[in-house]
Amino acid sequence: MATVIEMKNVSWKRDGEVLLNNINWKVNKGEHWAILGLNGSGKTTLLNMINGYIWPTTGKITVLGNMFGKTDLRNLRKRIGWVSSSLQEKIKGTNTVEAIILSGKHASIGLYEQLEKTDVEFAYQLMKKLGIEYLQNRPYQTVSQGEKQRILIARGLMAKPDLLILDEPTNGLDFLAREELLSSINELAKQHDAPTIIFVTHHMEEVLSVFSHVLLLRDGTIFQEGLTNEITSSASLSEFYHIPVEVTKKNERTWISLKRL
């Protein structure tokens, strides 16, 4: 089985503070992972490492068969789709939806490269797949927050990546917009040609049944990782959150609430 991500004894220090400590984690092709952790748990640092924006203080990282230190990270990043709030802030609001999606082919903010007719056709296919084909020719600044997130996912898929990272994509969405976005991600993950998806969230109920594995990150270390059904138990999550919680399974999703004493 092909390995998509492998971290061996990875740690990262900044100004003498250890933000990630002894991370050993492996993601195989055919798996979709959800990463959960509270604020300050190290999620963003972990993602920056996968993309090669920061370098481990100790340990080894291999992404899509490329060992860091022996590969051109600029080329590697073209095989990774990344959707994050920081990306949304960089996009010019007057750009059309199509232009933003098409810019994903070259991982640029804006269109600077020559495009083929097939590129435009593929962009429209992605819009249809994500249910946003009605946004054709609309300026980015005129669409809703939920629509913006689906636009950015389409942009992340434009280069046909092998790995798609969704960094808290539901932040700022209301209930209906969140559920619509999760439905789009669910359908995407089910497709036979889907990239490996890493979905980062604060909320257990957003871990869909298509996410085969869960990584629980706490205080810069891996608290637990493995099959979703094995991780999402009342006992595991109570220990993880340092407070008694009850787990309810409904519609193939996990819902947690504080345990009544």
33-36 and 196-201 beta bridge pairing: parallel
Q: Write the pLDDT tens digit of every residue in 7-38.
A: 999 999 988 889 999 999 999 999 999 999 98
Q: Write the pLDDT tens digit of every residue in 68-115.
A: 989 888 888 889 999 987 777 778 888 999 989 998 887 666 555 667
**Distance between CA atoms of residues 69 and 61, nearest Å:** 9
**Distance between CA atoms of residues 100 and 105, nearest Å:** 10
Residues pairing with 26 in the sheet = 6
Q: Which residues of 18-54 are buried (b: 16+ CB within 10 A; e: fewer)?
A: ebbbebebebeeebbbbbbbeeebbbbbbbebbbbeb
Q: Write the pLDDT tens digit of every residue in 123-174.
A: 999 999 999 999 999 999 999 999 999 999 999 999 899 999 999 999 889 9
Are the beta carbons of 14 and 21 closer than 8 angstroms?
A: no
Relative orientation angle of helices 117-129 and 145-157, to the nearest 10 degrees: 130
Could you state, in order of their start, the residue ranges of all structural domains in the chain?
1-79+162-231, 90-160
CATH architecture of 1-79+162-231: 3-Layer(aba) Sandwich (3.40)
**Distance between CA atoms of residues 120 and 129, nearest Å:** 14
DSSP H helices in 54-172: 73-77, 85-90, 97-103, 117-129, 145-157
**Distance between CA atoms of residues 213 and 242, nearest Å:** 22
Number of residues that make up the chain: 261
253-258 and 245-250 beta bridge pairing: antiparallel
To the nearest whole number, what is the mean pLDDT of the chain?
A: 90
**Distance between CA atoms of residues 201 and 38, nearest Å:** 9
221-227 and 58-63 beta bridge pairing: unpaired
Q: Write the pLDDT tens digit of every residue in 232-249.
A: 999 999 999 999 999 999
pLDDT value, residue 1: 60
pTM: 0.91
